[in-house]
Amino acid sequence: MRMSVTRINEFRARPGGGDVLRDRLMEFLPVIESLEGCLSCQLLQSQKNPEHVIFIEVWESVESHLVALLDSPAGKMEEILKLLEAPPSGDYFNYCHV
């Protein structure tokens, strides 16, 4: 039985830029959700530190996520990178229960 995989992406905005970053990333939600292999996508902003924003994406597989990356609009991502204090980070996670 093949299980889905969760991708968690972390973004840290420049000081005071958390809301702008959140709004820009929200534009990606419908795009990501429409990609083949995407099972769900959520965007969360820290209550304690609004500059900390994460995407939680659930994909059919790592491969389906990597293929979907080829369809992402590069220009939009360059705009996001300008808002960040540091490069984004991310990793794939497996569910540890049945």
Nearest to 2 by CA among 71, 82, 80, 63: 63
d(CA 18, CA 11): 9
d(CA 59, CA 57): 6
Nearest to 5 by CA among 91, 86, 68, 92: 92
d(CA 25, CA 32): 11
Question: Two tokens at 47?
Answer: 């209550």
Q: Which residue ranges of the chain lie beneath pLDDT 50?
A: 1
